[in-house]
């Protein structure tokens, strides 16, 4: 993250200048806290492996593999690795809801 220094022009009144510096410090602190929270907590992967998909669906890995083999769940293949798109899992849940 790039930081920039804040230049506060002197108004000739030390009270206003001190208040402006204190306010700028508080705003910088709040922004750092909010950016740190947003950068790590809200990121969810779109592609899940079989184990993650099983946890997401509340099923066993074997049952997810069975659904893949039966072509009930579409997959994204990267070489030998199999990934499932979160949107496809949500669509499968809605399709099997009754």
pLDDT, tens digit, for every residue of 31-78?
888 887 776 666 788 999 999 999 999 999 999 999 999 999 999 999
The pTM assigned to this predicted structure is 0.56
* Distance in angstroms (rounded) separating the CA atoms of residues 69 and 85: 16
Mean pLDDT to the nearest integer, 81-91 = 95
Is 88 found in the same domain as 67? yes
Do 35 and 68 lie in one domain? The reply is no
* 56 and 34 in a common domain: no
Confidence at residue 92, expressed as pLDDT on a 0 to 100 scale: 95
CB atoms within 10 A of CB 38: 10
Q: What is the pLDDT of residue 4?
A: 52
% the chain with pLDDT above 90: 51
Task: Indicate whether 14 and 54 sit together in one domain.
Answer: no
Pull the structure tokens for residue 95: 């399709």
Question: Range of 62's domain?
Answer: 47-95
Residues 35 and 52 in one domain: no
Q: Out of 24-28, 81-85, 86-90, pick the least confident.
A: 24-28
Regarding whether 38 and 17 lie in a shared domain, the answer is yes
Give how many domains the chain has, as a whole number: 2
CA dist., res. 57 & res. 53, Å (int): 6
| Statement to judge: residues 65 and 28 lie in one domain | no
- State residue 1's pLDDT score: 47
The verdict on 51 and 86 lying in the same domain is yes
Residues 39 and 53 in one domain: no
On whether both 52 and 38 belong to a single domain, the answer is no
């Amino acid at each position: 993250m790039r930081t920039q220094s804040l230049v506060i022009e002197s108004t000739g009144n030390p009270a206003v200048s001190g208040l402006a510096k204190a306010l700028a410090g508080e705003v910088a602190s709040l922004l750092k806290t909010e950016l740190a929270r947003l950068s790590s907590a809200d990121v969810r992967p779109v592609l899940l492996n079989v184990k993650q998909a099983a946890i997401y669906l509340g099923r066993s890995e074997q049952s997810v593999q069975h659904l893949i083999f039966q072509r009930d769940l579409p997959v994204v293949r990267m070489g030998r690795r199999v990934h499932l798109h979160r949107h496809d899992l949500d669509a499968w849940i809605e399709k099997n809801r009754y």
